[in-house]
Amino acid sequence: MGSLRNTQGVSQENVEIVKGIFARWEQGDFTSTDWADPEIEFSIPGPDRTVHKGIEAMSRAWREWLDVFDEMGARVTGIQAVGDDRVVVDQLFHGKGRGSGLPIDEISGAAVLTLRDGKVTRFAGYTTLEAALADARGDGG
Q: What is the pLDDT of residues 90-138, one digit of tens each?
A: 998 877 878 887 877 778 899 999 999 999 999 999 999 999 999 999 8
Name which CATH class applies to 9-136. Answer: alpha beta
Q: Is the model's pLDDT at 82 over the cut of 70?
A: yes
Q: Where are the domains positioned within the chain?
A: 9-136
The model's pLDDT over 23-48, given as tens digits with 9 standing for 90+, comes to 988 887 888 999 999 999 999 887 66
Looking at beta carbons, which pairs linking 3-8 to residues 24 or more positions away fall under 8 Å?
3/78, 3/79, 3/80, 4/79, 4/80, 4/81, 5/80, 5/81, 6/80, 6/81, 6/82, 7/80, 7/81
Q: Return the pLDDT at 11.
A: 86
Tell me the pLDDT band of 140, cut-offs 50, 70 and 90.
Answer: low
CB 43 within 8 A of CB 51: yes
